[in-house]
Amino acid sequence: MSQEIGARVAACLTGRQTQREVASQIGMTPDAFSRALNGKRAFSALELARVAEVLNADIHYLITGEADPRRILVAARHDYDHQTGQRTVPDAETDKAVLRDVSLAYRQAEPANLPASTLPATPEDARSALGHGFVRPFIERLESSIEVDVVRLPGLSTSYCFTVSSRAVIVLAATGNWFRENWALAHELGHLALGHLDPGLAPAVRDQHEAKANAFAAELLLPAEVLRSMEWSTVTAPVLATRVWDFGVSIDALARRLNSLGIVVSDALAEWAVQPTQRLLRRHWQPTEPGDPITARMDAAAVRHFSLALQDAHLALIAQGALPKGTLAWMLGVVPDSLEVDEPAPQEVIAPSELASALGL
């Protein structure tokens, strides 16, 4: 048993910190840690808990060799530095508290038996399920067509995804940047579809997953067949602006996708590829709908959002008396006392004197 646990801990060290560094962080001598890894001594319960924390490992897995069926596995969209090729999530520790709150809302809703998500296997399957023109009502289509919930909250540094009780959830940062949001949605859907919810990955595997999720997003939002069927070598700024708006991506993402496909582009596109997407749209896009659709799209991407399915589940459980309304109030961004919902009628309190009289005391 000790040897098996030591082997699993050793496997989690691959590509990470040195044995000496980990031993120091968990309060063990390097020699004791080395002997525990080799099965010559057992880890104490406290030592094993510290190992799991330091290595971000599943303690249930370290002990049993099997994943904890109750653990929520999360994948994150990493920032990518095109110059260095490095992928990072700078504020992952800060984001954890928000993700815990979101996962709690879903754990609390489990008695309501939310339907399982029907994840697509490929970008083509996703486009078919989401339907024509899905990019504008992207979140609504995800929630209604394939039962993938979306949460949008301020304060997050990046996007995440996880599954709980067979329900897939994508968590977004509320920034107002709608084209970045669209890519994040497609990217996280890629992680879910490709089964990338596996914590404690070695950096090389993590980078492979990120690249595959980005490729999924690129093919979903900017299908190669569609792009190759369009003329790009003579495209003008007004036409480019219309295409950026319709595809729902940034000019930078579009330019990089065209370059990866080896498609020759016009001087106008090359010039605009290094400029802000909003500038291109404000100067060259001609709206075909009333009002200010650019600002409306920004506003929509900045609004706090939880799926109606999750909210309805909480409402039903609150009405049954199975849940308090605090989590629902948090989802809505309001004070619990101000939230008027259907709750069980308060039970009549019997005064001690009345109870004594009724019992003949």
Q: Mind listing the pLDDT tens digit for each residue in 280-337?
A: 999 999 998 899 999 999 999 999 999 999 999 999 999 999 999 999 999 999 999 9
**Residue owning tokens 């904890």:** 68
DSSP structure string for 253-315: HHHHHHHHTT----HHHHHHTTS-HHHHHHHH---SSSS-HHHHHHHHTTS-B--HHHHHHHH
Q: Which one of 24, 46, 64 terminates a domain?
A: 64
Using 50, 70 and 90 to split pLDDT, how confident is the model at 87? very low
Using 50, 70 and 90 to split pLDDT, how confident is the model at 206? confident
At a CB cut-off of 8 Å and minimum separation 6, what does 182 contact? 135, 138, 221, 248, 249
| Residues 252 and 174 grouped into a single domain | no
| Residues 81 and 165 grouped into a single domain | yes
3-state class (DSSP) for residue 226: helix
Tell me whether residue 315 is in a domain: no
**Residue owning tokens 């970008």:** 123
| Residues 242 and 207 grouped into a single domain | no
What is the average pLDDT across 246-257? 98
| Residues 119 and 211 grouped into a single domain | yes
| Residues 205 and 136 grouped into a single domain | yes
Residue 90 confidence (pLDDT) above 60 = no
Domain that holds residue 235: 224-286
What is the average pLDDT across 193-200? 77
| Residues 30 and 149 grouped into a single domain | no
Looking up residue 18, the CATH number of its domain turns out to be: 1.10.260.40
| Residues 94 and 201 grouped into a single domain | yes
| Residues 196 and 91 grouped into a single domain | yes
The model's pTM is 0.76
Tell me whether residue 268 is in a domain: yes
At a CB cut-off of 8 Å and minimum separation 6, what does 67 contact? 58, 60, 61
Q: Which one of 286, 316, 332 terminates a domain?
A: 286
What is the average pLDDT across 127-146? 97
| Residues 60 and 99 grouped into a single domain | no
Tell me whether residue 139 is in a domain: yes
What is the average pLDDT across 7-18? 76
CA 21 to chain centre: 31
Q: Which one of 173, 206, 221 terminates a domain?
A: 221
Average pLDDT, the chain: 88
More confident residue, 53 or 337: 337
Q: Please tell me the total count of domains within the chain.
A: 3
The CB density around residue 274, as the number of other CB atoms within 10 Å, is 9
Q: What is the pLDDT of residues 149-182, one digit of tens each?
A: 999 999 898 999 999 888 999 999 999 999 999 9
Using 50, 70 and 90 to split pLDDT, how confident is the model at 146? very high
| Residues 168 and 277 grouped into a single domain | no
Tell me whether residue 297 is in a domain: no
Partners of 168 in the β-ladder? 148, 163
The pLDDT of residue 201: 60
Tell me whether residue 149 is in a domain: yes
Tell me whether residue 137 is in a domain: yes
| Residues 104 and 147 grouped into a single domain | yes
What is the average pLDDT across 5-16? 78
Tell me whether residue 354 is in a domain: no
Tell me whether residue 320 is in a domain: no
What is the average pLDDT across 186-196? 94
| Residues 36 and 84 grouped into a single domain | no
DSSP structure string for 123-153: HHHHHHHH-TTTTTTHHHHHHHHS-EEEEEE
